[in-house]
Amino acid sequence: MSKIGEEPLFADAFKQQIEREYGNRGRKGLEIAEEGRVKHYKDFYVVVGEADEYIVEDAVCTCKDFLFNASRNITKCSHMIAVEIAKQKGRVDFVNAWYQDVRPLP
């Protein structure tokens, strides 16, 4: 959230477009991107979620929302939308490490 007198990170028209296209998932994706919770490791994009970190690679996310709803033709979760927004708006935190070395996969 911006302070009084500061420019908002994303224009209202951009936010409205994302919310129209993706609804609540878009709103959450905007929030994630605004808060700078999208990281790009050498091997994956990782989104720091409320309860865990989620790997986003190509058209797949490791969150339960995506895993459950992908079979129902809901193709993007809020984490995937956040990665797209962060890349487009230059809000990605680059980490010069392999994610698998920082947080070993189960």
DSSP reduced 3-state for 39: strand
Q: Which amino acid is at 79?
A: H
pLDDT tier at 1 (50, 70, 90 boundaries)? very low
What are all long-range contacts of 22-27, with beta carbons under 8 Å and residues at least 24 apart? Answer: 22/76, 22/81, 24/78, 25/65, 25/76, 25/77, 25/78, 25/81, 26/78, 26/81
Quick one: pLDDT at residue 40? 97
Check pLDDT > 50 for residue 83.
yes
Q: Tell me how far CA of residue 63 lies from CA of 27, 30, 37, 69, 97, in angstroms.
A: 17, 17, 15, 10, 22
Q: Structure tokens of 98?
A: 């392999």
Separation of alpha carbons 25 and 22, rounded Å? 6
Check pLDDT > 90 for residue 56.
yes
Quote the pTM value. Answer: 0.86
Query: Domain extents for the chain?
Result: 12-97
* Mean pLDDT value of segment 54-66: 93
